[in-house]
Structure 1
Amino acid sequence: MSTPPTMPRLKGYRFPREIVAYAVWVYHRFAPSTADVQDLLAERGVTVSRETVRKWVNRFGCHFANCIKRDRPPAADKWHLDEAVIPINGRKYWLWRAVDANGDVLDILVQPQRNANAARRFLKRLIARFGEPRVVVTDRLRSYFKPIRELAPNADHRAHKGLNNRIEGSHRPTRRREKVMGRFESPRQAQRFLTAHDQANTIFRPRRYRISAISYRHARADAFDLWNTYAAEMAAREPGG
């Protein structure tokens, strides 16, 4: 991955945006620690600290996620909703996630509860952005029933454990990241990281088993072009390496 050398340097940053964008991409595309990213950059002759990598990821991960959300095609009108427990500082939190019929993550929300109020809050976010769905697929958690009837009265709500395998599989990258990161530090950090991680996977992990090798290479090249375009839109708000 490379960005055009004519890109202006980020104000207040020692390193060119090509390096910053590469570090953020590696961190969210694969499953490395900040130390791993530090070593990858060192192999390329770039000496930075783990703390600098962490600041880059925290500062610009949301930028790339917002750009991907902005430019993504319209979501399918069939949604799969699910929730998974994530322990943070010895306390249970719930990661609410929605994917569409294509398997693309629509949104995530980390909340301390797994009840009707939490389901309503998450569904409101989705409908405000994507409109009312045609079909909503969930497991049999009763907390979904009333919010869906209230907020999406015209939607076909299908509550069945076996129908929600698509979204259950979308939790696996989160579990892998948890192991690498040694758990999340706070709900805010989990929300910030997982938002960027899921959106990066949306463009860099097309379903390879559904497309030919040539189509996959084209999709990957398009994803790199998008990332470079988003790197050109990066704006510095605070110094960070």
Structure 2
Amino acid sequence: MLNFKGMRFPIDVILVCIRWYVAYPLSYRHLEEMMEERGVSVDHSSINRWAIRFLPLIEKMARKHKRPVGGSWRMDETYIKVKGVWKYLYRAVDKQGKTVDFLLTAKRDMAAAKRFFDKAMRANGDPDKVAMDKSGANKAAIDAINAGRDVPILVRQVKYLNNIVEQDHRAIKRVTRPMLNFKSFRSAGSVIAGIELMHMIRKGQFAVDDASPMSFADKFYALAGQVRPV
């Protein structure tokens, strides 16, 4: 359960603000205005602090309810600007388009790609095959992993196979675009965890125990260990 002790605002205000932020292409100042229209006076800097503090915790909690992904992965990286400098968001989806995992890194090299694969495989098991672009660093990372395996992971460096993950990047970039520029690597990682979580919720990747159909908002609240207010 999330610890909301010491927070000046009600839990539902905090959760609705951070959910809106990662679900839609909005800035913190947009949210400040939207909450003001609803009779809640909250500074945009407070919403920023809530996002950094709670979003990675909710995403971590949600992983326990994530449905298994397929064994055929499509892996690629895209770009996220942090303090005016491009950083790298490694991502993978299975052949059905379900998100496998993601990792924000400062560099784009073999070590970063291997960290991504290690994280993805710890959480999702080992893939049978991975499609990727012609990146030598990504291929080197898989080669390093395969060196310790009896049955190697099959690598396919065929561009058209990666169309699924390249298209999937767009959903993430659509939300990050109004954010303009993250002020720190930590804040970027925290918010991206929330954006990826909402994207997976929309793709139906979480098994939430409830007899009745749930909206995306209801699922977010449930994964955060809360009941959505009426």
Q: CA deviation at 1:61?
A: 1.1
Contact 1:18-1:231 at 8 Å conserved across structures: no
Task: Specify the SS of the correspondent of 2:6.
Answer: coil
Contact 2:75-2:130 at 8 Å conserved across structures: yes
The residue number in structure 1 matching 2:27 is: 33
Distance 1:90 1:13, change over 3 A: closer
Letter of the aligned partner of 2:165 in structure 1?
I
**2: CA distance, partners of 1:46 / 1:122:** 40
1:230 aligns with 2:228: no
**2: CA distance, partners of 1:11 / 1:186:** 26
Number of equivalenced pairs:
216
1:146 aligns with 2:140: yes
Counterpart mapping for 1:187-206 below 5 A: 187-205=185-203
1:221 aligns with 2:214: yes
The runs of 5 or more residues in structure 2 that have no matched partner are 206-210
**Structure 1 runs (4+) greater than 6 angstroms displaced:** none
The runs of 5 or more residues in structure 1 that have no matched partner are 1-8, 208-217, 235-241
1:92 aligns with 2:92: no
**1: CA distance, partners of 2:171 / 2:145:** 30
1:176 aligns with 2:211: no
* Deviates further, 83-92 or 32-41: 83-92
The residue number in structure 2 matching 1:79 is: 73
Q: CA deviation at 1:71?
A: 0.5
The residue number in structure 2 matching 1:42 is: 36
Task: Specify the SS of the correspondent of 2:91.
Answer: strand
Q: CA deviation at 1:132?
A: 1.1
TM-score by length of 2: 0.83
Q: CA deviation at 1:82?
A: 0.4
The residue number in structure 2 matching 1:128 is: 122
**2: CA distance, partners of 1:17 / 1:175:** 28
Contact 1:119-1:144 at 8 Å conserved across structures: yes
Counterpart mapping for 1:55-70 below 5 A: 55-70=49-64
TM-score by length of 1: 0.79
